[in-house]
Structures are given as structure tokens and as C-alpha cells.
Amino acid sequence: MSDYRVALQDMNFVLHDVLNVGADWASMPQMSEVIDPDTARAILDEAAKLTANLIAPNARAADEEGIHFDNGVVTTPKGYKEQFKALAEGGWVGVTANPDFGGMGMPKTLSAQYEEMMCAADISFSLYSGLTAGAIMSMDLHASEELKNTYLPHMVAGEWTGTMCLTEPHAGTDLGIIRTKAVPNSDGSYAITGTKIFITGGEHDLTENIIHLVLAKLPDAPAGTKGISLFVVPKFLVNEDGSLGARNPAVAGSVEHKMGIHASATCVMNFDAAQGWLVGEPHRGLAAMFTMMNYERLGVGIQGLGAAARSYCTALDYALDRRQGRGAKATQDTAAEADPLIVHGDVRRMLLTMKAFVEGGRAFSSYVGQQLDRAKYAETAEQRQAAEAQVQLLTPVAKAFMTDTGLETTIAGQQILGGHGFVREWGQEQWVRDCRIAQIYEGTNGIQALDLLGRKVVGSGGALLQPFAAEIQTFLRADSGVWAQEFKQLGAALTELERVSKHVLNNCKNDENLINSVAVDYLNLVGYVAYGYLWLRMAKVAEEKPELGDFSSSKVKTAKFYFAKILPRTQGIVASIEAGSGSMFAFSESEF
């Protein structure tokens, strides 16, 4: 397995040269107090040392060992406790958390880079702190001051971790049919009883306490999702003086045996009248969870990006070093018995596709993070509302497109290594396995596509698409310079996106299966257009910085490759959308 090389230059280029985050942060009072470009660079430097030198070298050994389960007790792989201690001591668990509870209060635009590093280093390990960050956010937004003061300082410090206990064996994504019950106790707490599955970090040995956020229904709850409440249920009860008390009956019944992320404890959690406390209002639990879902879904997209980035490092090293076959006459090394793999056209096709998706994904995740920051911290209500519209539109794209292209990228990396990519020693098969789950959890990618097309685009009558389309149109009205052909291509792809959006709007009432049938194609179309927009932004900045040498030249050439070899995929996608649902729904069940 190759060493993990953090793409610090590219991260800083995207943040400071392309997105100009310094201007954003300076205009936001809450941000200007905690972050500036120099501080951001220093934070990323430290994050790179932590992830590349401490976490990444242990990833394969941790995957090989996996977790150990014995009668409700989970032991994590060797090295994980030391790694998590270093993470906590460095303040990384609370990198975006509220400073009132000890967090750094960093913007999502910056934390997206740190999250990519963590995922590229070891997705399994990243999940323990990543889920904790999500639980911290949800509690900070919705819990009472008493609950926040009891739990958040310890969670932000990395002394306790957090989970999100949502689905159940029979429910899947349909949370409206969960059966976990919350019965009021005389002291104001609740007795939580039920079984939750697929609970990341539900039990482990990294911290002394685990704080579960559990969806459950009160006795008088309305049916469906409108009857779900949210409760905080600690593994160990907390005494009034802050010390740990009795063990709560919230116990891991088993752990899942998974295709990937072997070192992440994915638990079946059994709650047997466990004591819990209401977070937020009764019957508003799902709404409370959804306030942090945009952050979590972007985080899952970044898992796909991280796996892709790590796979690219290994594939590139191998292609430069491995000698096999002969290239064209102009590329032959006559002094050696064979040429390096990188001279072969198909290897270059795969490497450049990987590079285009990794660097395009990094720009896209940072762009969505910037919209999240603006939606939360921008000075005016108008600015916040405009950014929130972008967040609503692009969050499902970030989750689904970045994980779909992440899997495509890791598979390409495996393919470049040939047989050595299929065996374990080089690590490429691990990134394929670890990346695969990201397309499934936090709402499968098909559900993300339905959310985008059905709820966001059709649900708004097309209005939610317009601000993003208008931003791209404004960009395309600028001087194209040497990029006239690419400007024309992006403009044509955007026109097709707007046209098929109207096509679906005009025909979905007459074809009840249309949205369901074309949603995934539609999400991919938005993804390719968004990446094209950001690749042109990056290319135009890079060509103005010849002093960056090979970095600038590579960025410009990769943009050319994206428009020549990847953006044309949209033509087939448009044809598929226009074909409608007829060919799918012509079958009876017996004909499958």
C-alpha cells in the first residue's frame, strides 16, 4: 500500500484562490473571530500530519484485524485507542463545534478538507468522530441548556462519543414505521425500549461513555413520521456532579459482519427501558435530526471522495513504477525491457478520470460547504436564504454523485493494478469495499435522487434549480478567453439540464412513474454540470498562476480532459431521461 499524500496544495488552491473563502469569513462576524486564511492553512497543515503520519499507516492492519465482539463488549483494533486519544487531545472531534462548549467553531468549508483527510486515511476510524460531530450538532441546536451542559463539553472534548440510532430491522428508510417506544417516567425522563440496527459506534472501547440519540415514539404519538421524538440515552448515566453513574440498559446485542469498514463497530442496539431525556419538542424528532442531515450527507459524500483520493495515490505510484508491455514508439524506454504502465493509453484514461473526479469532487464538496457556511453565518437574511436554496438543491448531489464517482474511481484504481489490485497487499480492494457503503447509508443514492428531482425540483416547480443555473449563466457571460469551446460545452449542457427539467415538470402529471424512473439520471446530469462549472472556475484561476508550475499546468490540462472525455456523458443521460418510464413499467412482475 502506498503512503497517503495529502493534497494540501490543491486544498488551499480551492479554498483561497478559487472560492476566496477569506472574503466570506471576513464578512461573517462569527467566523471572523475564529478563522482567517493563515489560520486555515496552519490548521490544514496540522491535520495533514495527523492523518498521514498517525492514522493512515494503521488503516490496513485495522481492516485486517477488524473489531472484536464478546457478549456485548466491543474492542477496536490495535492502535485505535491511541489514535482517538490524539484526535481528542488535538481538539479535532470538536473542530466545527460551538466554542461555548469547547469547540473550535470552524467553518464547514475548512472542515470538509479535514474530513477528506480523515476518510482518505481510514474511513472506519473517521466514523467514530464523524458521528459524534453530528450528534453534537443536533444536540446543540435542539437540546435544553441542561442537557447541553451535561453532555456537550465531554463530547466536544472527545471524552465521550455520540451515535444516531434511527432505523430498525423492519423499517429501513421508512422511519415512520419504527416501533421503539418512549414511556414517561415520574422524574421527567423516559423509558426507551426497542431495537435499532446499523448503529455506527454503538459500542466500543475508545471512550468512557457513549451518548445515543434515539428516535422513538411517545404513547400518544401520531402515526407516521409526525409521531417521532428524539431522546438522548447515555451508555452510563451521569450524576449531578458530572461523574459517571449506573450502566444504562442500552446494550449491543451483536455487530454486523460487513463487506467493508471492518474496523467500524456497526451494532444492533437493544434498549430495555433505558433512561433517556427528550431532545426538542415531542413528535418533532425527525425534524431535529434533519437540521444536521445536510452536513451529514455532505460528510458521506466526502467519504467517497476520501476513498477515491487514497486510491488515486496508490494507482499513480504503481503506474509510474510498474513496467509492463511497450507503449508507442515515441514513449518506449529502449534501455529497459518494458515501459512503465503510465505510457499506455487506457491506463492514462483511468488515471485522468480518477484525477478529474477527485479534484472536481474536492472543489464541489468545498463549494457546498461554502453554501452551508453562508446559510448559517452570512450577514443578511437574503444572503442566508440564497445559500440555503443552494444547499437544499446540491446536498443530495453531494451525497450521491460523490459516492457514485468515488466507487467508480476506486474501481479504476484497482483495475490499474490488475491482479495486484484484487489481492489485499496493495490495499486497493479495501478502498472499493470501504467506499461501497457510502452509496447506501444516510439514505441510498436512489432516495437522494428522488429527493432532488421529486421534492426539490418538481416540488418547487423548478424554482430551486434556477439560482444555481443563474450562477453558472453569469459565469458563462464572462470573458471565456482560451476556453471558448469549453464555455460552449458547459452552456449546452446547462441548457439541456434546464430543458429536461421542464420536460419532467410538464410530463410527470401524466406519467406517475416518470420521476421515479429518471431521478438517478437527473441527479447525475446535475453532478456532471456542477463539476464542469467548477472545473472551468479552477482552470481559469490556474492559467493566471503560471508561477505554480506543474500544478497550474496539470490543472488546466485536467480541465481539458474533463470536457473532452467526461462531460460528454451527459448526452446519453439526457436521452435516457427523455425516454421516460415506458420501457421500465412495460413488464409484469412475472416477466422479470
Q: What letter does residue 457 receive in the DSSP assignment?
A: I
Distances (CA, A) of 459 to 465, 505, 557, 580: 11, 9, 39, 19
Residue with cell 484526535: 87
Going by C-alpha positions, the residue among 110, 146, 104, 118 that lies closest to residue 54 is 118
Q: How far apart are the first and last CA of the chain?
A: 43
The DSSP H or E segment spanning 1 is none
Calpha distance 338→331 (Å, rounded):
11
Residue 342: count other Cβ atoms within 10 Å of its Cβ.
18
Q: Give ∠ CA 63-418-362 in degrees, rounded to 5.
A: 60
Distances (CA, A) of 363 to 178, 323, 356, 530, 540: 38, 33, 11, 10, 14
Calpha distance 158→110 (Å, rounded):
20
Calpha distance 235→180 (Å, rounded):
17
The DSSP H or E segment spanning 260 is none
Going by C-alpha positions, the residue among 285, 292, 275, 269 that lies closest to residue 221 is 285
Distances (CA, A) of 338 to 32, 321, 563: 56, 11, 32
Q: Is 479 exposed, middle or buried (0-12, 13-18, 19+ CB in 10 A)?
A: exposed
Asked about 442 being catalytic, the answer comes back as yes
Residue 245, φ and ψ in degrees, nearest 5: -110, -135
User: Which is catalytic among the residues 116, 203, 296, 442?
Assistant: 442
Give me 15's grid cell: 479554498
Q: Give ∠ CA 419-422-427 in degrees, rounded to 5.
A: 115
- DSSP E strands in 18-146: the ranges are 68-70, 73-75
Going by C-alpha positions, the residue among 491, 457, 485 that lies closest to residue 473 is 491
Residue with cell 489514535: 83
Calpha distance 90→107 (Å, rounded):
17
Calpha distance 250→164 (Å, rounded):
13
For 124-174, what is the HEC assignment? HHHHHHHHHHHHHHHHHHHCCHHHHHHHHHHHHCCCEEEEEECCCCCCCCC
Using DSSP, state whether 317 is helix, strand or coil: helix
Going by C-alpha positions, the residue among 146, 75, 148, 130 that lies closest to residue 441 is 130
Residue 408: count other Cβ atoms within 10 Å of its Cβ.
17
Which residues does the annotation mark as catalytic? 442
